[in-house]
Chains A and B, each alone.
Chain A
């Protein structure tokens, strides 16, 4: 088995195990027909995530496919961006708990640029995205600066900055200075509606909410991966994360790499806010409740902090979380997908246990066995 597959296996097994556990939970908490209900609920979750193929093949309009797919894709896009945010910070050795706050700031910036600036669409969308990225980066930059210049641990500062962001944005700016002007006597909550030129174009027609944000998020995952694995600065970033003293001795500007990685993390989380506002909400609503920033931590860990792993995990959990609402048809609570995600995170945290179990089942792990003699068939990935 390749090294890459070996690294991914604990995550895959954790997700499968959590699916089984949740299935049992549903089945065993029913009065009757538990296993049938659980299986049916899982099927509904599946159709809600990848489109209702049975109905479609039965002759229903294509909307039964595009609508669920759109919901799943947009959830996946947001999870990808916040997951990448956490993963990038991880790579440089920092734990970014602050993706939520960075996302709020990014959402607000996107809403402001989207509604207060007038530009042609070709420029308006990039401008709004850039504004969101910069706002998220600046918010993360506070934590980075506190860490690098004052030694404040980033876990503490990013958690606190989440609360500051929430109060600042939801409790003051959005209800105060930036509140949208009510039109025609109707009172609205949140900021003013964004201009049509700033809205992310929909890709599967109006019935599906799938928009440009999804391909952009996937592109971001590939770009982050290329940057980390293929470029000099990405290499420096990883080296700092894995051994900062050695990186310093090698002449790598450790503080700059850490600061830039944290800023990039903030920019990615901020972009998630932009995708939410420019793609689905159309404005900064009265309150941006969705905790995608915190989900990003779980997605990053389940994705093994690998950019492509993050995208895969986000696609999976985006799909089952979009499909979760359909479980209600069978009286199963829609929060089960979140439970699945939580359990998967719990199981992934036991990664070392997985690895040792897997190692015992096979020949001694090649990478960790000590080189004793010159082995001609030197093992490698």
Chain B
């Protein structure tokens, strides 16, 4: 494939998971080496042996997962690897001065002396951008930059990107969020299955056209999915009363949550990030201890639930932090498919691992969920993020859970994968699974849920039942407006 990047433009590269966006950019950044073909910068063919070569030629990259040392300050992180020295000793005063200069030149408000782990995610991303600029980057590549940001931070980032282009820098934005791409990009390159499909001017296209180009001839509706078919809710699976729990920071995160989940319904948990949604999901899956309150979950007490007991009772879990909680990235795909069910057939025969059974079931699941490449022995971290998530969803649904707790199941996924995950969740609901869906994406919650609880500061501030979804009222509740509500 060929792609030209013009100076001073904001180019967006869009495509589904595994379309090759990240691979392309890693070639550009010197992390991967092309089997054939070449990269030219300002007309001169280059052979980047490492990111250092790319940096020297003015290419900077901001990865989806930040490459920062959390315990160092902003200035220390920015100069890391090329620290200014005086008489062979680190000259921190000069580093701070230089970093402050760079920030001022591009209009960033960052304190060079602040420790990185004290910054918000949005600010950490700015540190990454400043780092690249400080090293003289004229072309800045941003890989899925908004995946980790709140909507406000994403707006802020869009402004930063436009400012950079105005200052004469070139920005390459890798994304699959079409709306956001249309809002900021000058030109959009669409990739599919390792090929450049087309390049369009942002002004001349629409989200629908782009979506069609990305997925190819098989149009998959992702944005306007049909509302779930009404079905009578079944038995009560979870009856939780006055749940209290502490967060990771040892402050109360849940402060009296009541919750009911029935078989065959999707219960959405809506709210602004950090209002107890994550902790609620952890309580329901046995990962977090209650400080008080309780109730029943799948026929047993909710208090003192452990992950093993939860799984035994039939709880499935698609956690938010995939690499930390859901998979062991250094194990193979098939070992990850077995994880959590490795003591049961077809994954085990008595105390032994059933290699043949595990291989066969893994192959079936990889095919059914369209995981690419469908290779059971591949180490999991060789899969792209979207394909990893498919593996997790496949594993959890294959266990036929009675209760499925999913947190941010489609974050960072492309349109096709989102549609697939949503379809699988609907299918689970239809078959009588109770689904608890925690998502920061209100559209996703409203599209799937039969009932929505709104959480604010660890309390339920509203409960809405389909079809009485009043988005403005929901938004008010998410910001803490409380009113007696049935």
Known interface pairs A364-B35, A371-B384; A232-B339 also in contact (CB < 8 Å)? no
Contact of A236 with B342 in the complex, beta carbons under 8 Å: yes
Residues from 293 to 316 in B contacting A, C-beta threshold 8 Å: 306-312
Q: Which of A229, A368, A375 is B373 in contact with, Cβ under 8 Å?
A: A375
Contact of A232 with B285 in the complex, beta carbons under 8 Å: no
A residues within 8 A CB of B342? 232, 235-236, 250
Known interface pairs A232-B351, A364-B35, A367-B379; A372-B23 also in contact (CB < 8 Å)? yes
Q: Which of A238, A248, A253 is B287 in contact with, Cβ under 8 Å?
A: A248
A residues within 8 A CB of B194? 372-373
Q: Judge if A233 is at the interface, Cβ distance under 8 Å.
A: yes
- Nearest-Cβ distance from residue B404 to partner chain A, whole angstroms: 14
Known interface pairs A251-B308, A378-B378; A371-B340 also in contact (CB < 8 Å)? no
Return the CB mask of A214-242 against B: 1 if under 8 Å, else 0. Answer: 00000000000000011111011011001
Q: CA of A370 to CA of B18 in the docked complex: distance in angstroms?
A: 9
A residues within 8 A CB of B95? none
Contact of B377 with A381 in the complex, beta carbons under 8 Å: yes
Q: CA of A231 to CA of B20 in the docked complex: distance in angstroms?
A: 38
B residues within 8 A CB of A247? 328, 339
- Nearest-Cβ distance from residue A256 to partner chain B, whole angstroms: 11
Q: CA of A371 to CA of B383 in the docked complex: distance in angstroms?
A: 7
Q: CA of A213 to CA of B307 in the docked complex: distance in angstroms?
A: 42
Please tell me which stretch of B139-147, B210-218, B329-337, B447-455 contacts chain A, meaning at least 4 of its Cβ atoms lie within 8 angstroms of it: B329-337
- Nearest-Cβ distance from residue B3 to partner chain A, whole angstroms: 14
B residues within 8 A CB of A375? 373
Return the CB mask of B15-59 against A: 1 if under 8 Å, else 0. Answer: 000111011001000001101000000000000000000000000
Q: Which of B306, B348, B353, B384 is A370 in contact with, Cβ under 8 Å?
A: B384
Q: CA of A369 to CA of B383 in the docked complex: distance in angstroms?
A: 10
Q: Which of A232, A248, A367, A371 is B387 in contact with, Cβ under 8 Å?
A: A371
Q: Judge if B174 is at the interface, Cβ distance under 8 Å.
A: no
Q: Judge if A118 is at the interface, Cβ distance under 8 Å.
A: no
A residues within 8 A CB of B378? 367, 378-380
Q: Which of A249, A370, A378 is B326 in contact with, Cβ under 8 Å?
A: A249
Q: Judge if B112 is at the interface, Cβ distance under 8 Å.
A: no
The size bracket of the interface on A is: 20 to 34
- Nearest-Cβ distance from residue A344 to partner chain B, whole angstroms: 25
Return the CB mask of A355-381 against B: 1 if under 8 Å, else 0. Answer: 000000000100111111111001111
Contact of A253 with B23 in the complex, beta carbons under 8 Å: no
A240: nearest chain-B partner, CB-CB: B328
A residues within 8 A CB of B382? 367-371
Contact of B331 with A239 in the complex, beta carbons under 8 Å: yes
Could you tell me the dominant secondary structure of chain A's interface residues?
loop
- Nearest-Cβ distance from residue A170 to partner chain B, whole angstroms: 40
Q: Which of A231, A238, A251, A373 is B352 in contact with, Cβ under 8 Å?
A: A231
A residues within 8 A CB of B434? none
- Nearest-Cβ distance from residue B209 to partner chain A, whole angstroms: 23
Q: Judge if B102 is at the interface, Cβ distance under 8 Å.
A: no
B residues within 8 A CB of A374? 193, 372-373
Contact of B26 with A243 in the complex, beta carbons under 8 Å: no
Please tell me which stretch of B162-170, B228-236, B317-325, B478-486 contacts chain A, meaning at least 4 of its Cβ atoms lie within 8 angstroms of it: B317-325
Q: CA of A250 to CA of B339 in the docked complex: distance in angstroms?
A: 6
Q: Judge if A204 is at the interface, Cβ distance under 8 Å.
A: no
Q: Judge if A246 is at the interface, Cβ distance under 8 Å.
A: yes
Q: Judge if A245 is at the interface, Cβ distance under 8 Å.
A: yes
Contact of A250 with B340 in the complex, beta carbons under 8 Å: yes
Q: Which of B193, B307, B328, B343 is A239 in contact with, Cβ under 8 Å?
A: B328
B370: nearest chain-A partner, CB-CB: A374
Contact of B327 with A370 in the complex, beta carbons under 8 Å: no
Q: What is the interface of chain B, defined by CB distance below 8 A to chain A? A: 18-20, 22-23, 26, 32-33, 35, 193-194, 285, 287, 306-312, 317, 319, 324-331, 335, 338-340, 342-343, 348, 351-353, 372-375, 377-379, 382-384, 387
Q: What is the interface of chain A, defined by CB distance below 8 A to chain B? A: 229-233, 235-236, 238-239, 242-243, 245-253, 364, 367-375, 378-381
9 sampled A-B residue pairs with Cβ under 8 A: A246-B327, A249-B319, A250-B340, A251-B340, A371-B18, A371-B373, A373-B193, A379-B375, A380-B378
